Amino acid sequence: MTVLTPATWPVGALVTVVLFGLAVGSFLNVVILRLPEGRSLWRPASACPGCGTALAWHDNIPVLSFLALRGRCRTCGMAISWQYPLVELVTGAVFALAWLEFGPTADFVVAAVFVGALIAISGIDARHRIIPDVISLPGILAGVVASLATQRVSWLDSVLGILVGGGVFLAIVAGYALVTGAEGMGLGDVKLGAMLGAFLGWKALLFALFVGILTGGTLASVLLAVGGVGRKDPIPFGPFLATGGLVGLFWGERVVEWYLSGFGR
C-alpha cells in the first residue's frame, strides 16, 4: 500500500491550499490597512482609496484582478499599491510550503495561523512602525495552546521560548536605553519575540533570532552605506523577525539539532 507523505499529496489539494492562501492574503491586506487605524475589518467593503468607488467582485480577485487592471483603479486610474499582490503571493506560497511540510494535519492549521499573524505584523510594522498588541499578545497564548494541542513543540519548550524570545529583546531595549538614554527597539519587538518563542519553542527560536538579526543587520548596514537611511532613522525590525520566524518554523529545530550534534558528525 502506498503511504502518502505531505510532499506527495494530490496536486489538486496543493492547488486548493494555494488558492486558500491567496484569499487569506487578500484579507491580510485589509488587516494591514485598517487595524492600525482602528477601523472595522468587515465593513465597509473594499473601495478605491482615491475615488472611493466600491470594488466589484471581479476587481477583488487576488492577484488576477491586479494584473487585469494593470495595477490601476478601473474608475479613476489611480495606481494600486504593489503591496496587494505581494502579500497575496507570499501568503499563498508559504501556505503551500506549510502544506508540503505538514500535510492535512493540526500542525498545518497551527502553521497557517502563525504565518498569517507574521505577515500581518510585517505589513503593519513596515507601514506604520508598530507591532500591534492585538496580534502579538493573543499570539503568545495561541502558541502555548497549540503546543498543548499538537505536541509538535512541548509546552515546556514553548514556555522557555517565550522567556528567551521576550527576554533577549527586553534586555536589548533596556541596555540601549541605559547606554544612550534614548529609545531604540520598541516593546513591540519584545512581544513579537515572545510570540515566536511560544510557537517555535526555544530551539527553533534560536535559529529564528539568528536569521532575523542577521538579515536585519545586513540590510541596515547596506542602507547606511549607500545613504538610504541615516543613523537615527528608525528601521522596522518586525519584518526581519517575522522572516526569521518563518525560517525557524520549517528548518529551525533541524538546524539547531544538526549544530548541537557536531555538524552531523
Nearest CA to 242 out of 137, 142, 125, 133 is that of 125
Going by C-alpha positions, the residue among 254, 249, 251, 263 that lies closest to residue 118 is 249
**Domain spans, the chain:** 1-104, 133-265
Side chain identity at residue 122, one-letter code: S
pTM of the predicted model, to two decimals? 0.88
Predicted pLDDT at 183:
58
Residue-wise pLDDT for 133-191, tens only, equals 999 999 999 999 999 999 889 999 999 999 999 998 888 877 766 766 555 566 888 99
Q: What is the mean pLDDT of residues 56-83?
A: 87
User: Angle 140-183-127 (CA atoms, 0-180°, nearest 5)?
Assistant: 60
Measured on CA atoms in the order 198, 162, 191, 237, is the torsion positive or negative?
A: negative
182 HSE (CA, 13 A, CB side): 4
